[in-house]
Structure formats: structure tokens, C-alpha cells
Chain A
């Protein structure tokens, strides 16, 4: 078993062979992957050493201390967080060897072609079709809310391969080539004025069967691996006090006494308390994870932060009075990294509206908490035994 001392030794060897100061960034990242120090819990030969996942911090700390370059996770989050675990779980040996290395180094950006205009929370109702033709699948349909589609080399895609069975059973999971001429990516401008996401139109795109992940018709099960990994990220973070959205509004309050009113004061203090309680809950969750006793608290953290972000940013717009009537910039932009706090209060207010929709709506997450944590009965499923083609649309 690889232990912390072994990982530190290997990290030191990597640093000695590829001094960060004199090594090209990509060369270093490739060497790190090949040394098994990319994600230590992955298998040998695939960027890891089969070590416990918790030991990654040991490697990261030593590399950071030596000024080693990172594989900027902000740009490649979907690849690292969603595509990679799914490929690892369901990919063939050939697929794992082809995709994981450039995914990890960031040389190839990934996006996720799941949501559709008609299938959001009810994702399994999706209508994008994939029809078998010889060794290929021919895909037609439309996807939406696709981050990074305009810079992505690959996409994870779910499509309907059998409309005659109930919706969860007729889906298959593919790796889609975003450079295919049948792929058209259009920016989707959102309430903030930014185009953070895209619409993706798929017309007669041919995907070879060798780029299928998992069995035909098993796509929903494969997608669960992807989606379960989407919400994992929040658990490990350590927030300082006033580290979230409450920070900017508290700062404004302290620096601008002329803006203060009694009504806003009461609301601000109430939100400050709630933000601190949510921060302590996140810290408690982190301590539980470290102690090896994960609790169900994680299921609720996104709900808490979404509501707080919206209420706090809404309050700050009011606090700013006349300035609150203004907006910093309506120019359409295509950010690679969404900046939540660097822009003005109006931007934060509008952007935070997405927090209760993205990654699962508040309404769906409340159902999940009620059913999985509290054990309350599930929603009635009238579509369970109905063929997808017969569903109301």
C-alpha cells in the first residue's frame, strides 16, 4: 500500500527530475501524471497509484510549496469532476488510456451534453436520438446550458437509443467529438448579460460505437456516476468567516455608514448569523469527512448557500441605494471563469439566481433530502412503465 511517506518520496523525485522553475508547464504536468501523482487514488498507469484519495493533499502541498504548476481546475472542472470518474468506472482500457491523460493535464477540455430544453430536472425524458448505423451511431438533437462547449474538445453525451421502452431504460452514454462538423455551438446569453453557457445543436453527428461508455441502454446508470460526482465538490472546502457573499456586503456596511438604515441592519445581522451557521455546518461536514464519518449534511449545503447568496446579494443592491440602480457592464462576455465577487452587487444578485437552478433545482434537492435523508415517501411515478415515445411532451 502506498503511504504518505512513499508519496512524499515520489513527489520529491518528480521535482528533482523536472524542476518547476526550468520545466515547461505541460511537460511538468505530463510527467506528474506519468508518475502517478495526478490523482493518487486512480490506478497505476492512469495518473494514480491506487493510494487512498485522502493522501492527495500530501502531494498537492509539497508541489505547491515548490511552485509547481497546477492543472487549473476552474477551466477543466467538468472533465475532472464528471467525465473522468465516469470513464474510469465504465470505460474500456483503450478509452481510459486515450482520454484521461490529456483530460487531467487540461490539454483537452470537456463539456457535458446532458440537459435539453425539454429535459431539465426530468433529465431522463431527454429526446436527443442516437440511431445505430453499422459501426456508428447517428445522433440528432439539441442540448442546452453547456458550459465550456465553445472550448471543449470532447463531450460526455447521453442520447435516446430506444424510444419504445420506459424513459430510464432507453438511454445510452457516449463520448462525442466536439470538432465534428455536425456540432454547432451557440452562446446562450443569460440574465447577467454574460454568455457563460451554450446551446449545442447536433445534426447527423456520427459517433463510432468504440466511443460508447457502458452497455447500450445502460446510459442512465452510467450518468448516475457522473451526477453523483457533480455534488461531491462542496464537501471538502474550508471557508473563513465572512468568506462567502456576506463578505462584500459586510465590507460595504463598514465602509459606507451613510448607507445604513435600521431595516437593513436587522436583515444584515440575521443573514450574517445564517451565513456563519452555514459556514460552521460546512466545517462540521469537513471534520466528519476527515474523521471518516460522512454525514448527510452535504445534501443540504447547496440549498443553504443558494438561498443565502440570493438574499445577501439582494440586500446589497438595496443597501447601495442610487448605485443599486446601476450595473457595471452589460457587454456580452464569454468568461472561462465565473467571478462571483469581483463584480458589482447587481451582477451578484442576478448571477446568484442561478444557484438554486444549476446542479439540481432547490425543489428537486428538497425532494432528495425528504426522501433519502428523512425517508419520506417518493413522488408518485406515473411515467414508470410508459414507453418514452408515449410520454406527454
Chain B
């Protein structure tokens, strides 16, 4: 982390004065008795534990469920900031969908020479089965999570586009529930945009993507790998809140050309499948033959236009980290506009000049695996030991095309509650976006992830990060 002095603090300006968006909250906070705040803070873990808001940790005892630490100081975004962010997000999401459609059809962006062919050819998420096929409603990525970081008052960057199965939305909702339960008076003082209608919007958005032949109210189901999946809590939560069935592969089969679920009264067809299972496990007949998580024959039904899969198979082709580096070009190509939200500067190690630069500056850079996720397989240069850097150098030289590198940004901080009072910790933000033929909806707020270790830049829950409630203020 270079130059801690430059770090943008979301709550306080350089002189220690409270920023306008936090004014109401800070006044309230100051007026509270410290002992009472500490007790409230201790209560939160119990609340989450009792409610069972957990995630499972792979590689540990199968029954092991962990809590994601929750910090009770909200992250607050002003109405004006949010308007600007939403415009940028909407532009980006529109471009993402257009890009995926183009890749699986005419590939005009490649013919125009704006992105190289290897971008899809070498891409593990590329699905030849999707070539020439258009999903119902023309939507590829129905639920998108755009990861944003901030470095200054007006400097937001997109860190990552999560176009396949972004998770964490249940934490956004439960964090708000918890805050409203613990500090009801805060919500009468500050006018905070609501997030709780997300499941209803999701249900409506998914239903609007039902295949053309759907009769009556579309039947929506959430497909989960089961109770041992790390995000099972979220799958059950969303199904519950949407009033949809929560299905597993073993509940489904193809009956009379439709995907149907085994109910107590026989097989009932499904119109929209919100799947939280990765592409390769979706259909043992088409993809991984070993998989029992999906439905044999699903892809045939899909290609016959008799079910909607959200997000569409093959969507992952757009959220590869190699694709990320081309996003500014992609946005411009499909929208005809300059991107409203910039990328973080990214070096593609496949490019020899970039590789040389990256190798010379490893100690300053964050290096990520192109296909990696969840904070695994990455190097945070400034925090790494000499040995780790040397090890990564070998990996880079061996397979440069497998990596990208980015400068370590001075990620903004937001105060967290500690035993000794407030302390700044780095944060990012993942807003959730819904796409249907009726338009793009962005829930005001999102999931703020916070690195709980002092100075740490890694906010992933799998790496010990926590979350906060995110407020978007009304005007």
C-alpha cells in the first residue's frame, strides 16, 4: 500500500471533518453511550448465528458453517453519487449483454479488430452449444454483480464484473434487516433507500424472461447444489423470499420435452430456472458426465426454447479477467459512448511488454489468475514476502497468459467498530443488477465488503473479510 496518507476515508475528510452524507449518522453515533454500542455490537453475532445466516467452508468438516463477520457502522452513499454510479453500471451491463450476444452470433467486435479472437477461443467459459442460439428475451446475464472500488471523491473504478452467478445478495438484505432491528431510530432520522424489495424484483424480472410458450404465471425455481454448498443459505433465502421452489438436480428431469420437478403430485414443468450451479455441472449429457447437480437433457430443452436459464449458460465468457481488460473498448463498441465507470489499469501478462513491466514491478502490483475467483491464486505484491514474490515470478514466466496485473489502488476506507472505537478499514462495493426485456434495475445499495484486518486489501469472505450495511440516501 503506497502512501497511506492519500487513502480516501468515506466518513471523514482529510481535516477530520464528517462528510455530508455521514452528518446525521455521525451526530447520532457521537450521542450514544460507548458501553451500549459495545453491547449492541456483541449482540449481532448472536442474531446472525440464531438466524442461521452462514456460509459453508470448503475443505473443512462438511457440517462446518461460518458466519461472515458483520460490522455495524453503515457505509453511506449520497443520492448524487448513486445516480452517477447507476448510470455507469447500467451502461456497463447493457454492453455486457450485447457483447455476449455478439460473441455467440456475428462476432462483429472481433471482425472490427477491437478485441482479439483468443478472448473467446482460449476462454474456459466459452460454450460452443450457445453459438447461434438466442436465449428467451435476448437476455444473457439476468443477475449481475459489479464490484466497485473507490480511491477519491469522484473516483470509482470497476474491479470486476460478475456476470455468471454473483452471490452475496442475501447478506445485503440481512444486513439491512439486522440494522433495522438493532437501531430502528436510525432509519427515522435518515431517509435510506429500501433494498428489501429485491427478491420481489428478482421474481418479477425472472418471470419477465420466461420462454415465449409460457402459459399463465411462469413457474420459477432456484437450482441449488444442496445444503453443503457454500452459498446454500442464500439459495434457500432467495427461493423463500420469492415464493419459488428450491430444487436440486435430483428433483428434476426432462418430461415431455420440458424440464419438470418431482412434486408430491407428479412432475410439474418449470419455466424459469434461476440456477446457482456452474455451467459445467448443468447437464451431464452435454457437459460433465459425472455431474449429479444438474439435469440430463437440460440443454436440449433450453435450445428448443422451452425453459429460461438464468444466468444463461456461457455467460461466464464475459467476466473473465482477460475480458475485463478490454471492457472500456467493449462498452464503447456497443453503446457508442465513453465508459462512465473506468476500469482499474490492467496489464495483460500475455503481452510481452506488459509482462516485462509486471515482472519488474511485482512488489507494487496485484497479480490475479485470469480464471481465478474468491481471492485465491492471487499475489498482493506490497503484502507479500520475498519468497512468495519469487514463487509467483516463476508461475508468471511459465504461463504468462494465465495472469493479469493491476496497481495496488489506494482503496477507500470506511470506519469499523472496534473495541477501541472507530478504525478505518478498506472496503469495496458490489451493487446488484437485474436485467429483463423490460429493462435494467439496480437495487440502491449493494454489498459492502470490508477487510477486517488493519491495512489488508483483501475483502473476500473466504479470506476473512466482513460486510456492512450499505445506505443510499434519498435526496
The finding on whether chains A and B are genuine partners in a shared complex, rather than unrelated, reads no
Residues of A at under 8 Å CB distance from B?
none
Q: Chain B interface (Cβ within 8 Å of chain A)?
A: none
